[in-house]
Amino acid sequence: MKHWMKMLTMLCMAVVLIACGKTVEEQIAEQMDLGERYLEEMKYEEAIVAFQKVIELDDKNVEAYLGLSQAYVALGDTEQALTVLETGYEK
């Protein structure tokens, strides 16, 4: 019985997510806006998460790689910033 309840709950969640889902382009724009805002607010860890989500959705998004590298530089992690830029260049 518990198995069926879990399955029904997961099915309902999937339907809700699909119905309320955003297009990939909308998700990218939203995450880019968040990343840029977090950079301005000096919330670098949050900016990293936002820019990484953009890269997951579009691994050729130049602005996301640049924003991600800026966040790493602000945290003093220049090696990671360079790695991000090299990865973006290779895409």
The residue-averaged pLDDT of 38-58 equals: 97
Give residue-wise pLDDT tens across range 60-84: 999 999 999 999 999 999 999 999 9
Q: What share of the chain is helix, strand, coil (3-state, %, to 5)?
A: 80, 0, 20
In contact, 44 and 71? CB cutoff 8 Å: yes
In this prediction, residue 6 has a pLDDT band, given cuts at 50, 70 and 90, of low
- Averaged confidence pLDDT in the chain: 86
